[in-house]
Structure 1
Amino acid sequence: MRRISLWGLSTLAALVFLFSYRTSTGGTTAEVTVAATPAGEGQTFTGQTAQTREGDVQVVITVADGKITSVAVPVYPTGSRRHDEISARAVPELVEATLAAQGADIDSVSGATYTSGGYKQSLQSAIDSAGL
């Protein structure tokens, strides 16, 4: 009887420990910063929403003089700490790569394969709409 009691208490303690374990030390949710679109400059094109395994992604580009001048990502995977952390890291990298490449021929961000794929798909749709 004594062994059963000790085993039960040990199991209960282990469960409490596991359920209270935090995977991140940061207490805040990261925000995704995207390039701002200057008011009145260029023409805006919205890409189709790409549905990915991790969530929807949509890209909006502004084009002036045949060049992509800014990129906004109003829709991206969010809703959990994991998605927020991945998007906070991946979206700015994808935006920067787009502005540098002036197109959708950009590398995926490591660890954000689905988000990168959806981003590129929506970006290509916006570029096609712009006729670039």
Structure 2
Amino acid sequence: MHTLRKNRPLRRIVLASAATVSGMVLLLSLKPHTTPAVAGLTPSPAPFSSSSAPATAGTSGGATGSGGSSGSTSGTRTLTGDSVQTRYGPVQVRVTLADGKITDVTAVEYPQENPRDQQINSYAVPELTREALTAQSAAIDTVSGATYTSDGYRRSLQSALDSASG
């Protein structure tokens, strides 16, 4: 005898209801995945920073992003790229060059208005910084899930590097 025989429809209804309720309880008890570093958005220090001169030896450009520079005797300059407006807010980076090599890249401004922006940029900005230091240029990959921030970061970094050569 099978428990779901056709002549016992009430038993089928009870079993189907119990299965549905059990499934809903299991589904609602799942916790969404969250990144533990959402609260602290401070990117970790760049491991490639090998400059013998302090990173503050140069002067940075103004808020217009024109990319000011200074010529110190050690060849270290700090340049600020243009502020690039993205769909979720402005992105602007500051780059430190020592003897023509990128020694540090700092995101001066990036979207962080809401928890979702904070979550995305807590992993995207440090990854973009690592990419820029490794590539030694603005030819860096887009971080998955942070397309707009990646594009703004790349464009601001390129404007800073362009102002260094010009």
**TM-score range, shorter-chain basis?**
0.7 to 0.9
Structure 2 contact 38–122 (Cα < 8 Å) conserved: no
1:83 to 102, 114, 117: 117
Structure 1 contact 48–126 (Cα < 8 Å) conserved: yes
- CA shift at 1:113, angstroms? 0.3
Aligned-pair identity (%): 48
Equivalent AA in structure 2 for residue 124 of structure 1: Q
Equivalent AA in structure 1 for residue 132 of structure 2: T
**Aligned residue for 2:90?**
56
**Aligned residue for 1:32?**
42
**Aligned residue for 1:8?**
none
Structure 1 contact 50–56 (Cα < 8 Å) conserved: yes
2:95 and 2:37 mapped to 1: Cα distance? 33
Q: How do 1:66-105 residues align onto structure 2 when only pairs under 5 Å count?
A: 66-105=100-139
Equivalent AA in structure 2 for residue 40 of structure 1: A
**Aligned residue for 2:147?**
113
1:49 and 1:25 mapped to 2: Cα distance? 27
Question: What SS is found at the alignment partner of 1:31?
Answer: coil
Higher relative helix content = 1
Structure 1 contact 34–72 (Cα < 8 Å) conserved: no
Structure 1 contact 60–71 (Cα < 8 Å) conserved: yes
Structure 2 spans left out of the alignment, 5+ residues:
1-31, 47-53, 59-75
2:37 and 2:56 mapped to 1: Cα distance? 35
1:25 and 1:96 mapped to 2: Cα distance? 19
The count of aligned residue pairs is 112
Moved more, 38-47 or 59-68: 38-47
**TM-score of the aligned structures, taking structure 1 as reference length:** 0.75
- CA shift at 1:23, angstroms? 7.8
Structure 1 contact 32–91 (Cα < 8 Å) conserved: no
- CA shift at 1:31, angstroms? 1.2
Structure 1 spans left out of the alignment, 5+ residues:
1-21
1:2-24 Cα shifts (integer Å, max 9, x gaps): xxxxxxxxxxxxxxxxxxxx885
**Aligned residue for 2:61?**
none
Structure 2 contact 38–115 (Cα < 8 Å) conserved: no
